[in-house]
Amino acid sequence: MLGRRIRVRGQVQGVGFRPFVWELARRHGVTGTVLNDAEGVLVEAAGEGLAAFEAALAAEAPPLARVDAVEGTDADLPPCGDFTIAASGAAGAETRVTPDAATCADCAAEIRDPSARRFGYPFTNCTNCGPRLTILRALPYDRARTTMAPFEMCAACRAEYEDPADRRFHAQPIACPACGPQAWCEADGARLNADPIATAARWLRAGRIVAIKGLGGFHLACDATNPAALALLRERKRRPAKPFALMAPLETVARHAVLDDTARARLTEPAAPIVLLPKAAPLPEGVAPGQGRLGWMLPYTPLHHLLLDAARRPLVMTSGNLSGEPQAIGDDEAREKLSGFADGFLMHDREIARRLDDGVEIAAPPMVLRRARGRVPGTLELPPGLPHAQVAAFGGQLKSAICLTKAGQAMLSHHLGDLDDPLTLEEFLRADADLAELLGHAPEAVAVDLHPEFRATRHGHARADALGVPVFEVQHHHAHMAAALGEAGWRGATAVGLVLDGLGLGPDGTVWGGEVLVGGYAGVARAAHLTPAPLVGGDRAQADPWRNAVVRLDAAGHGALAERLFGHLPLAPLRAAAMAGVNAPLSSSAGRLYDAVAACLGLCPERQSFEGEAAMALQTLSERGGDARPYPFGLGPEIDPAPMFDALARDLAAGAPPETIAARFEAGLAKAFASAARAACDAAGTDTVALSGGCFQNVSLLARVTARLDGLRLCPPGEVPANDGGLAFGQALVALARMESG
């Protein structure tokens, strides 16, 4: 029988692809077989409707599938009178693991249907939704290798699991009230014999703090409409100002946020990320003090849906952890670490195999700020022509993430945290081993940051030594530029990188952070940069905005203004250290310039309570200031902010509104760096500009820069975080390019 042997590659296992193919074959009158194997899905098919059948494999794929390739060849096949799902072949790491997916519409309706056997059941799922990576212990992905293994299916679930026409066919987390996980509440160390959803909702409505076991870890929750509950949570977590994430049904989000079609689509994706949305109807200021945007996510498990139905109000859902530590995932760990924060616990007995934070994203322009649950372990396609070698890249010290390349794809890990914390470092090392095993990854090279004291760098060198493979050290801002180019699929000769961030070691031994670079994946040269200023106190300068303000004002000849604004602080020792160069490395950081201007406007000048607090407050002011006249900067190989501080000082003296000053600063910064990028493009004969670095998480700055680079091919932030969460992807691309060039 003449037919086709069709190989489907991509994210095609654990997503209902085989029953989809089975149904498609019946619709098109095709006979044959479909099975899973080590490379993906293999179809052998024949029949008059074969051409339409093959075209539909990609065009009509299930919601959670991602088809990278459909490769068909003519084949002589044994006669077959039907189309069947055959037993799976050998498992392999090429098949990928599907990210966790938010509750689908069918399951959400089912838990609210009194006639359904899963009415009110908090662990309802099907092939189109539910946990994946967070319950997986090892490949291949089947029930015995997940944390669902202890729960033996009842006869009714088994029948659904084995029926190709059922949406729960081979859904590994399948469960029901008779055979699956159960939830309960605890208070004062005792398990309560009461409806857990109703009990937790009652606690929340009464203003209590509840620790909730979710998909990838515990949350601390409270009533987002209750100022006293918000203040209590902030006091207990010692978190005075950092914004809280919020969870609510879509109709509630629409009442409190500016919600267009783009934002609605982002919120309702299977990844169900936290999406930063402009405020509309107010909530108490304690949700996100001083911010113009709030982070909203929809309920993404049946437990969350049921809890929000019962609570009837938006809830704060913030990570359940001690400050700086990873999120708690184990029951005993949560009891030990969160009892001081929470008045009660909403628990369940399905174990969490992997810690995954909630992702944080922006809808327009579409941008991932924190790559996490729902996105990982999805892969990114490598730019064409780069070697298909296996590289392990280990990112930076902050917002750490790991990137593994294999077979033309890059797997950029979830957000792992700041490696200054010992427990986060442990999590980083565990993730390295875990992801390598899941992907069957055997590194041929390692890529690390140029900074020798980063824990990720030291780990990368140790791994390379143990494996006997080369190490590629990649300058921080080169990695940012490469990540933006790589996500855009760029494969040219020369591009320009406009990289604005906090800190990164430069090859000259100074600290970079406001850079215009020229080159490609294999190497770059510095074309322009912000005029350096000392970071007095080293790391203290990142936490204390006034330090940056004083050195910048002094350099611009405005020492008297510094005295007026910050005279109550220890200026003399700071100035002495700056002059002597004692613990005061030179830095061209755009992030620290943001801090300096924020401090001049009185925005948390003495100490930031979280990273980026001053810059975020300045962004909020800038957006209120609208389309302001740009402050001037000195242009050239050094972009000098002294003229900007001259104009700022005049505006302060004249009593200009803070939002006008903020907008003029940001407009001036955008104009200066866009001009330098255009000049670099002209000199290098290119029209491609990569925009990266943590400052470009600021959509106001990004919009201002983008407008001034009109007509050029821009590679802006997108699925790869512009902050240090994207460094590892860029490092991997640089390593591959250097391997290619020898």
Going by C-alpha positions, the residue among 20, 173, 13, 32 that lies closest to residue 90 is 13
- pLDDT grade for 661, boundaries at 50, 70 and 90: very high
Question: In this model, does residue 35 exceed pLDDT 80?
Answer: yes
- pLDDT grade for 527, boundaries at 50, 70 and 90: very high
Report the pLDDT value the prediction gives residue 281, as an integer from 0 to 100.
84
- The Cα 383–Cα 488 span in angstroms is 8
Arithmetic mean of pLDDT, 162-188: 95
Q: Which residue has the higher pLDDT, 704 or 40?
A: 704
Task: Give the residue numbers marked as catalytic.
Answer: 18, 36
Q: For the domain with range 2-95, which CATH number is right: 3.30.70.100, 3.40.50.300, 3.10.20.30, 3.90.1150.10?
A: 3.30.70.100
| H runs (alpha helix) in 417-531 | 422-439, 455-467, 476-487
Angle between the N-to-C axes of helices 590-600 and 613-625, in degrees from 0 to 180, rounded to the nearest 10 = 70
Arithmetic mean of pLDDT, 314-340: 94
- The Cα 470–Cα 517 span in angstroms is 25
Identical topology for domains 2-95 and 379-471+721-730: no
- Rounded to 10 degrees, what is the CA torsion of 385, 390, 396, 397? 170
Q: Domain 531-670 is in which class?
A: alpha beta
Going by C-alpha positions, the residue among 395, 393, 387, 401 that lies closest to residue 359 is 401
Arithmetic mean of pLDDT, 444-469: 98
Give percent helix, percent strand, percent coil of the chain, each to the nearest 5: 35, 20, 40
- The Cα 736–Cα 443 span in angstroms is 12
Amino acid found at 333: E
Residue 502 near residue 513 (C-beta atoms within 8 A):
yes
In the CATH hierarchy, which fold is given to the domain comprising 183-361? DHBP synthase (3.90.870)
Report the pLDDT value the prediction gives residue 141, as an integer from 0 to 100.
81
Report the pLDDT value the prediction gives residue 91, as an integer from 0 to 100.
61
Quote the pTM value: 0.94
- The Cα 238–Cα 336 span in angstroms is 18
Question: In this model, does residue 251 exceed pLDDT 60?
Answer: yes
Query: Average pLDDT, whole number, for the chain?
Result: 95
Arithmetic mean of pLDDT, 606-616: 94
Q: Rounded to an integer, what is the distance from CA 270 to the centroid of its chain?
A: 15
Going by C-alpha positions, the residue among 408, 456, 397 that lies closest to residue 432 is 456
Report the pLDDT value the prediction gives residue 95, as an integer from 0 to 100.
59
Arithmetic mean of pLDDT, 607-631: 94
Question: In this model, does residue 94 exceed pLDDT 70?
Answer: no
Burial (Cβ within 10 Å: 0-12, 13-18, ≥19) of residue 145: middle
| 3-state secondary structure at position 386 | coil
Residue % of the chain over a pLDDT of 90: 91
Q: For the domain with range 379-471+721-730, which CATH number is right: 1.20.1510.10, 3.40.30.10, 3.30.420.360, 3.40.50.300?
A: 3.30.420.360
| 3-state secondary structure at position 57 | helix
Domain limits, the chain:
2-95, 183-361, 379-471+721-730, 531-670
| 3-state secondary structure at position 345 | strand
Question: In this model, does residue 690 exceed pLDDT 60?
Answer: yes
| 3-state secondary structure at position 577 | helix
Arithmetic mean of pLDDT, 475-480: 98
Report the pLDDT value the prediction gives residue 93, as an integer from 0 to 100.
54
- pLDDT grade for 503, boundaries at 50, 70 and 90: very high
Tokens for 239, please give them.
């978190």
Residue pLDDT, tens place only, 188-216: 999 999 999 999 999 999 999 999 999 99
Residue pLDDT, tens place only, 40-72: 899 999 998 999 999 999 999 999 999 989 999
Residue 484 near residue 449 (C-beta atoms within 8 A):
no
Question: In this model, does residue 87 exceed pLDDT 90?
Answer: no
Residue 239 near residue 249 (C-beta atoms within 8 A):
no
Residue pLDDT, tens place only, 127-171: 999 999 999 998 778 899 999 999 999 999 999 999 989 999 999
Comparing 85-99, 201-215, 357-371, 527-541, which segment has the lowest mean pLDDT? Answer: 85-99
